[in-house]
Amino acid sequence: MSIINAAITAVGGYLPEDKLTNADLEKLVDTNDEWITTRVGIKERRVLKDPTKGAAYLGVQAVQDLLSRSGIDPKTIDGLILTTNTGDHTFPTTASIVAHDTGCVNAFTFDLVSACPGFIYALETGANYIRSGRYKRVLVVAAEKMTAFVDYTDRATCPLFGDGAGCVLLEPTEEACGVMDASFHTDGIGRNNLILRAGGSVNPASHETVEARQHYIYQEGAAVFKHAVKGMSSSCRAIMERNGLADADVAWVVPHQANLRIIDAVAREMKVPMERVMVNIEYRGNTSSATIPLCLWEFEKKLHKGDNLILTSFGAGFTWGAVYVKWAYEPKH
């Protein structure tokens, strides 16, 4: 029997029109452009300002972009896996809303939550559905309205996050391309270093939690930075060694866009020059699980069939990992 691989055959993305610049933040909190740029490498981020629209709206726009550019009938989509940390509701799932609003009426759906690495976890999950031979088209979507959980009185975290959504389509192929390998890890030691401290079943919403501003992102940056560099670098190296990839064999590293200094440190550990690292953090900020598919969407025209890509991310939990993808198509002009 021939081996079925799961290939990325199309990408989509969406960024809200409104921008929040560092100059805008200077009016809200004690910070400045130099401080933000030198520490995290961000100049501006996109914001979905409408409070009646959430992650599902962003995901819908990204999926519609993919479907319109690829000419694919949404009724032919077998599954839709959506990763988000900022879902519209605790239930129903955000994936079910996105499928309904994009016409993917024949797709099974579920949400997958694994912090910032959610997309690469979902990518491997979707690939396994394709590899099973029972499904032909699976959408993997990452949609995040991070600004809904940002405390704009906290100078340490408010410059970091933005909103956006990206997605990819997985289809079967017998060629030696697609999602080739993955390596994932978790260490609960960091669960209190990056956390939304209220709103779950442990600490439900109350007047006290709202007054204490516990429904906003809390992060201890130094601890996260140290573990992120180590985790992402080691995962990438493990994937490369397992697949016999030398530094020169990697066409692109696609890292989570959390901090430019983290990205630079990971690239140096991998001995891959920055010109082969996808970076869009300067004008996008950290869109959590959506950063990697947004990079693939924005860099699509630079990708060529057969390119070796290493996708890597790190996030709350701590969770981290890397995925090896061999690109399956030539640029679409």
Buried b (16+ CB within 10 A) or exposed e, 194-213: bbbbbbeeeeeeeeeeeeee
pLDDT in tens, 191-234: 999 999 999 999 999 999 999 999 999 999 999 999 999 999 99
Lookup: tokens for 75: 């009724």
Instruction: Indicate whether 331 belongs to any domain.
Output: no
Q: Are residues 60 and 146 in the same domain?
A: yes
User: Could you say which of 5, 85, 116, 193 is catalytic?
Assistant: 116
Answer whether residue 201 is part of any domain. Answer: no
CA-to-CA distance for 123 and 235, rounded, in angstroms?
16
Residue 181 contacts residue 324 (beta carbons within 8 Å) = yes
Q: Which domain holds residue 260?
A: 180-190+216-326
- 162 and 229 in a single domain? The answer is no
Please tell me whether residues 161 and 231 are part of one structural domain. Answer: no
Say what the pTM is: 0.97
Let me know if 256 is a catalytic residue.
Answer: yes
Report the CATH number that the domain containing residue 307 is assigned in CATH. Answer: 3.40.47.10
Give the active site residue among 5, 22, 259, 286: 286
203 neighbors 214 (Cβ within 8 angstroms)? yes
Q: How far is CA 197 from the centre of its chain?
A: 22
Chain segment 23-45, per-residue pLDDT in tens: 999 999 999 999 999 999 999 99
- For residue 196, being part of any structural domain is answered with no
5 is catalytic: no
Q: Is the dihedral of CA 102, 144, 86, 55 positive or negative?
A: negative
Radius of gyration for the chain, computed over Cα atoms and rounded to the nearest angstrom: 19
205 inside domain: no
pLDDT at position 251, please?
98
In one-letter notation, the amino acid at residue 101 is D
| H or E segment to which residue 293 belongs | helix 291-298
Q: Are 191 and 311 in contact (CB under 8 A)?
A: no
Given 256, 259, 295, 308, the catalytic residue: 256
Same structural domain, 185 and 37: no
| The two three-digit tokens of residue 280, written as one number | 């869009």
Provide the domain count of the chain.
2
